[in-house]
Amino acid sequence: MSRVFFDTSVLLAAFFNEHEHHGASLRALSEVTGKTGACATHTLAELYATTTRLPGRSRLSTDQALVLIENVTKKLQLVHLDGEEYIAAIETAAAAGVSGATVYDALLLACASKVRARIIYTWNVRHFQRAYPEVAARVAIPG
């Protein structure tokens, strides 16, 4: 079964009407089910952290952020790495010359690879292509 994997940047855009990429992100998310769509468990923490620290009126309360996360968990399969997979993903990133926070993208892409995602949606295409060269051809923007 082919899967579509979602990065935090796409999920965030899908849930915020005022986001510049809202329409394309929401369409991509609406086209999947729990059997065809996935995201990393780490993405839940990223969504929580980001949405509870957005500027001004966009900021969600902790309760609102939890509702958003519940909606994601109902819509997408959650993927996580075990210890060996985590280390292997970091080693792959190091071999590709990835340093700094881009390693987090490498971990997300290792999750996408684990579920054999045919498409990996993100609005940070260059970071993702650099972070995990083996899956670079499957990285795309929604739309």
Per-residue pLDDT reduced to its tens digit, 13-29? 999 999 999 999 999 99
Residues 38/115, Cβ–Cβ less than 8 Å: yes
**pTM (predicted TM-score):** 0.91
Query: CA torsion, points 8, 27, 126, 49, in degrees to nearest 10?
Result: -10
Work out the percent of the chain whose per-residue pLDDT is above 70.
97
Q: How many domains does the chain have?
A: 1
Identify the pLDDT of residue 102. 87
Q: What is the pLDDT of residue 134?
A: 73
State the virtual CA torsion across 76, 77, 81, 82 in degrees, nearest 10: 150
Q: Residues 56-99: pLDDT tens digits?
A: 988 999 999 999 999 999 999 999 999 999 999 999 889 888 89
Q: Which of 143, 130, 73 is nearest to 99 (CA)?
A: 130
Range of the domain at 46: 3-140
What's the 3-state SS for 66-82? HHHHHHHHHHCEEECCC
Q: What is the dihedral of CA 32, 36, 42, 46, to 10 degrees?
A: -10
- pLDDT value for 130: 73
Q: Reply yes or no on whether the pLDDT at 1 is more than 60.
A: no
Q: Cβ(71)–Cβ(107) under 8 Å?
A: no
Domain of 45: which CATH number? 3.40.50.1010
pLDDT at 80: 97
pLDDT in tens, 98-131: 899 889 988 999 999 999 999 999 998 887 777 6
pLDDT for residue 135: 77
Rounded to an integer, what distance in angstroms lies between the CA atom of residue 78 and that of residue 68? 14
